[in-house]
Each structure stands twice: as structure tokens, then as C-alpha cells.
Amino acid sequence: MIGVGSGPDVRGARAAGPALGVTRASERECWIALSLLPGIGPAAFTQLLRRHGSAAAAWRAGHDALSGLGRVSDEALAAMASLEGQDPRALARRVEDATRDAAGRVITWLDDAYPPALLTLDPRPPTLYIAGDTQAFRERGVAIVGTRRASGYGLSVATEIADELARAGVVVVSGLALGVDGAAHRAAVAAGGRSIAVLPSPLDHIYPPRHRPLAREIVAGGGALVTEVPTGATVGKPDFARRNRIIAGLAEAVVVTEAPDRSGALLTAAAATAIGRELYAVPGPIGAMGSRGCNRLIADQQATIVTSTAALLRQIGLGSGRRAPAVASLSEVEGQVLKRLLERSGSIEELVDRTDQPPAAVASALTLLEARGLVDPFGGATFHPTRAARSMTNGV
């Protein structure tokens, strides 16, 4: 019950329970059961609570409960109609058992573990399904989002920011998608930090399947997986819109690292603006299709421009978690290649051109730099300097 009393509706729910002779436990069960109904989202749920005072009362009212509400889907009406005679306890227990089998817990507003950051949302998700350490929700969080079809640039920026945030003790929030999301989670876990992945799918069907090992690493690293989709629900289309809202909600700031026009990341950006979270965007070259969404956010003054990781951390109000500068002895060609890369990322071919060195020398220099963790091609053709390379002070 702690950390719940932020709105009159919730206070109403707590007060109404005992008055109607329903025990606390069954109010929670009715709550969970009610949130399971198809067509009842956070908005409808909140309205029901306001009207009836408690989930248990709304449940008892059954079909009639909806009749007064505006904009109720036929789906919801049918679902409510079928409730008559059903035991909310059984429904709630079933989903709680399924969630436990998926190594998670069901968490409602009524529970202490409900993420405090989401309490500021209106409407807010009535029920969440969470795996991992809920302590992750009590620390400062920053979301990093971006396109699934990320370029090496997008991946390198996401990695660098996530790494820096994790070292500063900030929880990196993202959506576990391919591309930028995955890179952000991975970097946070690799830096020994906590990360929160907000899923568009139930806990027992982690989407995308390719990131299931990553999801396990996030939990093992003290982070958490969270979703609004009930465990054991029929697996339908992943619900990205509701996920994006939670991503923004869990974070105090949202950083869009790379997003073309019409990217899903822009929806998260819009959600961040709508619920009053700080929005940052990483600029891209003016010709880069993959960064057009980001550039537009900046041009339209919806987002603050990110000029460097250090500047971003300062703006968020964090000192840079700088490590000691790497000490590396580099040959002349290696130093030259790294210097060019620090000016601008590029492929081997470009570096051959920019350094005017033979391909053989540039190729072997890049391998050495990669082995020392100073550059990273992120699986593609373009090499990017890493944070370690940027913090090098000796002679490059």
C-alpha cells in the first residue's frame, strides 16, 4: 500500500474495499482479474475504479459496470457479460501461477513493488508482470531507444551512452528490440549496470525471440523485465504502443539515438513528451536517412540535441563516470588511423583513402585497435572509435 496513494481514485479503491466487506486479498484478485479482460486498458480500468470505488465492486457490477462508460469496445462488453458467475480468485490465481512459472511476479498499484515512476502516469497500467529485481525501478532511469535497423553509428552511440550511464549508476531502460535497444541493454549489462527491458509481449513469450539470451543476462545483472501483457495470454501482435508509454514512464529522460522517419522510436519520443519526460536526440549527418527522425526532433525543438555523451550526462545532472584513460602504445599507422576515426567514423576503404596508407597497413592496424577495444565495427563495415579511444590522452 505504500507508494500508492497519489490519486483520489486509488484512495477510493482502498477505502471502498473494507466498506463492502471484501478482504484485501480478494480486492487484489478482483483487480488482477479485471485487468485481464480484453478491451479494458489503463484508461477504462481507471474509469471503472472511479465509478465503483473498487475493483471488487466493479467486478460485482459485471456487465452493468460498463454501460455508463463512454467509448467502451464491444470486445470489453462481451467480456464483461461473460463474467457472470466466474470466480475472480481462480482467474487471478491462474495468471499468477503462469507468471511464477515464467520466473515473474504480478504487481498491481496495491503492491509496494509497483514502479514509483509509473505512479505519475494517468492513466497508469493497473497490473504489471515483472521478472527480475524490482529494486531496479527505484533507481534513476534513462531510456535509450532507436531504430531496429540501426547502422553502426546508431549502435555505437547507443553503446557509448548506455555504458556511460551504467557506470554512473543509472538504470538503462529500453524495449529489448533488435538494433539500438539491444545495443543499449547489452552495453549496460556489460558495464555491470542494471537495465530494464519493457516487453511488448508476455513474460513467457519474450519478443523478439533472438533476444531471449539477452533478457536472461539483464535479469542476471540485477535488472528487470516488465510488461503489461498478462502471462499466458494468447500471443497476438506485440503491443508496441503501450510498451513505448511504459518505457517513457519508467525513465526520467528519453534519448533517441537513431531513428528514420516513421520509426517506432519516434512514438516513444512522442509518449515522452506527452507525459512530461525530458527528450534528447542524437543528430546524424544531414544526408543520413536513418537519422532523419532524430534530426527533425531537434529541428522542431521537441528534443534537446546530444552533442556528446559527457554533455548528455551533465544535462541529466550526472557527472561523467570516466575511467582512467587507457594507456596504449600505438605505431604510427595505428595512431593515424585512430586519429582519423576520432574525427569521423569510416570503413577500411575510407580510412585507406584518408590516411593514404596501403590497405594492408590500415587493415592490420584496425585489427589491433579492435583487439585493444579502441574501435568497434559493430558487425558492419564502418569502424567507430569507442569511449576508451575518446578518453585516450597520450599522443593520439
Partner 1 sequence: MLATALSASVVGVDGVPVRVEVDVSFGLPGLTIVGLAGSAVLEARERVRSALRNSGFEVPSRRITVNLAPADLPKEGTGHDLAIAVAILVASGQLDGARLRSTALIGELALDGSLRPVPGALALVAAAVAGGATDAIVPAENGPEGAAIRGVAVRPAGALGQVTRHLAGVEPLEALEPTAPEPPGLLPDDAPDLASVVGQLVARRALEIATAGRHNLAFSGPPGVGKTLLARAAAGLLPPLDEVEAAEVSRIYSVAGLTDRRAPVSLRRPFRAPHHTVSTQALVGGGPRIRPGEASLAHRGALLLDETLQFRADALDALRGPIDGGTVTIARVEGVLALPARFMLLATFNPCPCGWFGVDGQVCSCEDGRRRRYQARLSGPMRDRLDLFVPLEPGVSARALAARPEPSAAVASRVHRAWCLQRERQGVPNVELPPSALDAAHGFTEAIHGLMESRARQMGLSLRRAHRATRVARTIADLEGAPAVEPRHLDEALSYRPKAAAP
Binding site for partner 1 (CB under 8 A): 148-153, 155, 178-179, 182-183, 186, 260, 285, 287-290, 345, 347-350, 352-353, 356, 358-368, 370-373, 377-382
**Residue 46, strand partner residues:** none
Cβ 365 to partner 1 shortest distance, Å: 8
Nearer to partner 1, 227 or 345 (CB): 345
**Alpha helix locations (H) across 129-284?**
152-167, 180-190, 212-220, 240-250, 264-274
Return the C-alpha cell found at 380.
Answer: 558492419
Cβ 308 to partner 1 shortest distance, Å: 20
- Rounded distance between C-alpha atoms, residue 123 and residue 118, angstroms: 9
- Rounded distance between C-alpha atoms, residue 265 and residue 331, angstroms: 41
Cβ 380 to partner 1 shortest distance, Å: 4
Nearer to partner 1, 104 or 223 (CB): 223
Nearer to partner 1, 134 or 357 (CB): 357
Nearer to partner 1, 252 or 350 (CB): 350
- Rounded distance between C-alpha atoms, residue 319 and residue 8, angstroms: 38
- Rounded distance between C-alpha atoms, residue 65 and residue 33, angstroms: 15
Cβ 158 to partner 1 shortest distance, Å: 10
Cβ 210 to partner 1 shortest distance, Å: 8
Cβ 331 to partner 1 shortest distance, Å: 9
**Residue 198, strand partner residues:** 226
Cα-only R_g, the chain: 24
Return the C-alpha cell found at 59.
Answer: 467486478
Q: How many CA atoms lie within 13 A of 200 on its CB side?
A: 22
Helix (H, G, I), strand (E, B) or coil at 269: helix
**Residue 142, strand partner residues:** 172, 253
**Residue 299, strand partner residues:** none
- Rounded distance between C-alpha atoms, residue 152 and residue 296, angstroms: 20
DSSP type of residue 395: -
Cβ 292 to partner 1 shortest distance, Å: 8
Nearer to partner 1, 102 or 259 (CB): 259
Cβ 170 to partner 1 shortest distance, Å: 22
Nearer to partner 1, 130 or 374 (CB): 374
Nearer to partner 1, 28 or 185 (CB): 185
Q: How many CA atoms lie within 13 A of 334 on its CB side?
A: 17
Cβ 301 to partner 1 shortest distance, Å: 24
Nearer to partner 1, 99 or 257 (CB): 257
Q: CA nearest 259: which of 239, 238, 289?
A: 289
Nearer to partner 1, 202 or 208 (CB): 208
DSSP type of residue 109: T
- Full strand arrangement of the beta sheet holding 127-132: 104-108, 127-132, 224-227, 195-199, 171-174, 141-145, 253-256, 278-281, 304-305
Count other C-beta atoms under 10 Å from residue 77's C-beta.
15
